[in-house]
Structure 1
């Protein structure tokens, strides 16, 4: 007999979340439950509200209605730095790195508990060797893909309980995307929970445990990633295309 999930099985819960940005009503009653230690994929067409959902969780935009709980504690009224201190890291689509600072300085600023753990840094270098090569270079001088590596490395330079990651494979070469997949697998194995917004369907098909599809600020589908990956008709209905068209 399969037992139903309890609230303690979920690291993050969104209940009836609405977000207004000026006169625009972006999120319109979003309900999500993110299981502990899983990679949860958020899909949808451009403008569906995916990035707004991540930013609202992180407190960068405030929910105008509803409730957001992290480990059964309300966080929707907290400031972004306080949310980060609770163990949540966010990798934005535009990366948000400090261009004038070196790669080392960017990562050092993210080590909020003190000095960088050298063993964890070597683990990160294993996935992104270019960061070691350009360790003392200004981050603004790096390529787009290398800047993306800095942004991801900064988010995982310390252990986090939850990662919010927006379009991580954007601008990365296939080889680095493969390394990124390995990094996410190891993070999952360490019981790090991940919410991933991504347009590379083959990437998410390999990694995702559960998936939700957004449209017009609402969740219109929620299920197992493998079930969606196998159902081309459902993909076309929800996303306007099938994953096989991206191979």
Structure 2
């Protein structure tokens, strides 16, 4: 395993009066795609939000590039080079695709070469460039959300359930785009429920339960062990969609 770009050590976090994370230990290797898996309610989304400074950290240590970011403001964390694509995608429905992209670019200026690379990753964005983002399909909105996250070079992408509610053909298109990001050695921490998608893309994996990471290792090891899948996720590979 390569050097960890992001590490969480015994991280605890609350949402209002509820204790959600109970000592999360997690390492995200630099240049790899790490899958964060687990049953609903295990704490996966809260972990991403905690990294981004969007929840109250009550204990533990979060380090990015070896430096502490625990308790820092979200804008400061973003400036460190971390981008977050939440489950609700966070796009502006009344603005055009172009306007959404301009807002995500530093200073409102998009690098032409990088933009060309992005629309090659997500061709529908070019087709709907001057249309309101609210007119896009669910899959196209997800493409726009990811495109916004990578319009500037980022050190780390945090992406929450990108395939949720999408048709299989759109999921395949997203998987192809993630394959290209992997070839660029973009570091990604991705929360996902679709095990086949995870198996195809993941290099390393961590499984959460009840606010803790209960297993971590290679995605290949998890994908090849039906008993381990059943123990950690409640399903064997053949039962996952």
For the superposition of Structure 1 and Structure 2, which TM-score range results when normalised by the shorter chain? Answer: over 0.9
Q: Which runs of 5+ in 1 are unaligned?
A: none
- List, as ranges, runs of 4+ consecutive aligned residues in structure 1 with deviation greater than 4 Å: none
Q: TM-score, normalised by structure 1?
A: 0.93
- Out of 1, 5, 14, which is 2:8 matched to? 14
Cα pair 1:40 1:194 within 8 Å, conserved: yes
**CA spacing shift, 1:209–1:113, aligned 2, 3 Å:** farther
Which of 216, 221, 224 pairs up with 1:227? 221
1:47 aligns with 2:41: yes
Is 1:132 equivalent to 2:139 in the alignment?
Answer: no
On the 8 A contact 1:12/1:72 being kept in 2, the answer is: yes
CA 1:170–1:52 in 2, change beyond 3 Å: closer, same or farther? same
2:65 is the alignment partner of 1:71: yes
Counterparts in 2 of 1:38 and 1:219: CA distance versus 1, 3 Å: same
Q: Match of 1:63, SS?
A: strand
Residue 183 (structure 2) aligned to one of 170, 181, 189: 189
Residue in 1 that maps onto 2:97: 103
- Give the length in aligned residue pairs: 241
> Within 2, Cα distance between the matches of 1:170 and 1:188?
21
Distance of 1:173 and 1:23 partners within structure 2: 37
C-alpha contact 2:122 2:177 (8 A) present in aligned 1: no
Shift of 1:219: 0.8
2:56 is the alignment partner of 1:62:
yes
Matches within 5 A, 1:143-154: 143-154=137-148
Report Cα offsets for 1:77-134 as digits up to 9, x if no partner.
2110111111100010111111111111111111125411122222222222111111
Cα RMSD, aligned residues only: 1.5
SS at match of 1:181: helix
TM norm structure 2: 0.95
2:134 paired with 1:168: no
Tell me if structure 2 keeps the 8 A contact 1:201–1:243: yes
Measure, in 2, the Cα distance between the counterparts of 1:158 and 1:126. 16
Distance 1:178 1:147 in 2: 15
Q: 2 CA distance for matches of 1:145 and 1:123?
A: 19
SS at match of 2:6: strand
User: For 2:198, which of 190, 193, 204 is the aligned residue?
Assistant: 204
- Aligned residue for 2:10, secondary structure, equals strand
1:27 paired to 2:25: no
Tell me the residue number matched to 2:149: 155
Between the aligned partners of 2:182 and 2:148, the Cα distance in structure 1 is 17
Separation in structure 1 between the aligned mates of residue 73 and residue 217 of structure 2, nearest angstrom: 31
Distance 1:227 1:52 in 2: 26
